[in-house]
């Protein structure tokens, strides 16, 4: 086939394209060879195709069956040098296998049955509280590293944390038109949190959202809750370090003052400033807690003191699965050559 007459222009265009491509490849090579952040995209290629420094991390299950993009770790958990996969054919070559407790706890057959390759870590991952974590003994003499909201886990994966507030991140208290909000999905009339609510509502107006109460669509949650001066961040059960998105997302991210029910005040103060929240245990009764909230409602100076910490810090609440696994990658690179957690039962209480 002959080249058409009008092709000199086309030829220039092709040369231009090729030059552009070369420039791009050089740029990409330069960029990746300088910051070492190359992370292979998910592929079915054999493990031997990957850079040698990458650890292979196998997700034994997707957490709660929830698939998400792998190999896309974001700052500051980027540069992780791991290859993540949910494909069990990597079992024999994986450096670590992450077992998400709630997906493997209904029978012992759900944890890997084939012999464990030499040097492979089994990582136990769980964000549920102990009372919602059945059959911990299935993990006896199987686990090497723990990954949970407990700060003494090998891989600490809290529901949220505090970061320095960089210049320019000026926090403004959202406009407030409402008083107290509470979003609750699991209504157990005998639970401490429901009993406390029943008493509180005799002394202060509490708007309840969730199943059978006021509607709260996911995309509107922050906008609605931010109108409230206070948010009842009541945990479903009380355990060391068990401080969930009720505090981090619903209260702190929305800019309302958390009224917390959970582990003792000192436990909260390990993670958030003492003047950023109100602890129910600080009051002898619901009546006194309510009257303190009324006092803050009337005195803006006093109310605003609960936001002073925000000039230095800001809350981060990322329930993103990918961040948790990216943290595991970083921790695995530093893991000791031998580590074991013979029994979770005594530790996870």
Residues within the interface to ligand NAG (CB under 6 A): 119, 121, 141, 144, 299, 301-302, 338-340
Question: CB within 8 A of 249, min separation 6: which ones?
Answer: 159, 160, 221, 222, 317, 319
Please give the full DSSP string across 99-159, using - where no structure is assigned. EEHHHH-S-GGGS--SPPPTT-EEEEEE-S-GGG---GGGGTTTBSEEEESSTTSSEE--S
- Choose, from 128, 163, 178, 235, the residue flagged as catalytic: 128
Shortest Cβ 123–ligand NAG spacing (Å): 10
Kindly compute the dihedral angle of the four CA atoms of residues 266, 230, 312, 282, in this order, to the nearest 10 degrees. Answer: -20
Residue 80 and residue 72: Cα distance in Å, rounded?
Answer: 10
Please give the full DSSP string across 169-227, using - where no structure is assigned. ----PPP--EEEEEE-SS--TTSHHHHHHHHHTTTS-EEEESTTSB---GGGHHHHHTT
Phi and psi angles of residue 251, each rounded to the nearest 5 degrees, phi first: -95, -65
Q: Can 128 be counted among the known catalytic residues?
A: yes
Shortest Cβ 167–ligand NAG spacing (Å): 28
Cβ atoms of 85 and 42 within 8 Å: the answer is: yes
- The smaller minimum CB distance to ligand NAG, of residues 210 and 273, is found at 273
- The smaller minimum CB distance to ligand NAG, of residues 289 and 335, is found at 335
Cβ atoms of 144 and 57 within 8 Å: the answer is: no
- The smaller minimum CB distance to ligand NAG, of residues 164 and 337, is found at 337
Residue 318 and residue 321: Cα distance in Å, rounded?
Answer: 8
- The smaller minimum CB distance to ligand NAG, of residues 143 and 181, is found at 143
- The smaller minimum CB distance to ligand NAG, of residues 140 and 163, is found at 140
Phi and psi angles of residue 219, each rounded to the nearest 5 degrees, phi first: -70, -15
Mutual orientation of helices 286-298 and 192-200 as an angle, nearest 10°? 60
Our measurement of the distance from residue 337's CA atom to the centroid of its chain's CA atoms, rounded to an integer in Å, reads 27
Beta strand 55-59 with 96-100 is parallel
- The smaller minimum CB distance to ligand NAG, of residues 121 and 248, is found at 121
Cβ atoms of 70 and 307 within 8 Å: the answer is: no
- The smaller minimum CB distance to ligand NAG, of residues 154 and 235, is found at 154
Residue 101 and residue 127: Cα distance in Å, rounded?
Answer: 9
Shortest Cβ 290–ligand NAG spacing (Å): 17
The residues that are catalytic are: 128
């Amino acid at each position: 086939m002959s080249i058409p007459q009008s092709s000199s222009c086309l030829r220039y265009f092709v040369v231009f394209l090729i030059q552009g491509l070369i420039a791009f490849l050089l740029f990409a090579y330069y960029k990746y060879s300088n910051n070492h952040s190359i992370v292979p995209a998910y592929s079915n290629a054999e493990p031997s195709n990957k850079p040698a420094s990458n650890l292979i991390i196998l997700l034994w299950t997707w957490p709660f069956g929830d698939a998400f993009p792998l190999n896309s770790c974001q700052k500051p958990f980027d540069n992780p040098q791991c290859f993540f996969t949910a494909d069990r054919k990597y079992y024999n070559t994986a450096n670590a296998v992450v077992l998400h407790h709630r997906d493997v706890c209904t029978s012992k057959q759900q944890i890997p049955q084939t012999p464990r390759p030499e040097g492979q870590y089994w990582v136990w991952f769980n964000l549920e509280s102990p009372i919602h974590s059945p059959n911990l003994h299935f993990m006896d003499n199987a686990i090497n590293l723990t990954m949970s909201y407990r700060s003494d886990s090998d891989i600490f994966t809290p529901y949220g944390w505090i970061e320095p507030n960089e210049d320019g991140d000026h926090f403004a208290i959202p406009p407030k038109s409402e008083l107290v909000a509470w979003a609750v999905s699991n209504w157990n009339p005998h639970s401490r949190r429901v009993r406390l609510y029943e008493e509180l509502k005799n002394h202060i107006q509490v708007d309840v959202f969730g199943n059978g109460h006021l509607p709260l669509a996911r995309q509107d949650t922050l906008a609605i809750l931010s109108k409230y001066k206070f948010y009842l961040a009541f945990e479903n059960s009380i355990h060391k370090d068990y401080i969930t998105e009720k505090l981090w997302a619903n209260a702190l991210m929305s800019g309302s003052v958390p009224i917390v029910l959970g582990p003792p005040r000192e436990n909260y103060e390990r993670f958030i400033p003492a003047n950023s929240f109100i602890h129910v245990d600080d009051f002898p009764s619901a009546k006194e807690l309510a009257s303190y909230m009324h006092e803050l409602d009337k005195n803006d100076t006093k109310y605003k003191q609960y936001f002073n910490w925000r000039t230095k810090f800001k809350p981060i609440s990322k329930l993103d699965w990918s961040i948790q696994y990216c943290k595991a990658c970083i921790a695995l690179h530093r893991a000791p050559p031998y580590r074991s957690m013979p029994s979770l039962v005594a530790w996870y209480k």
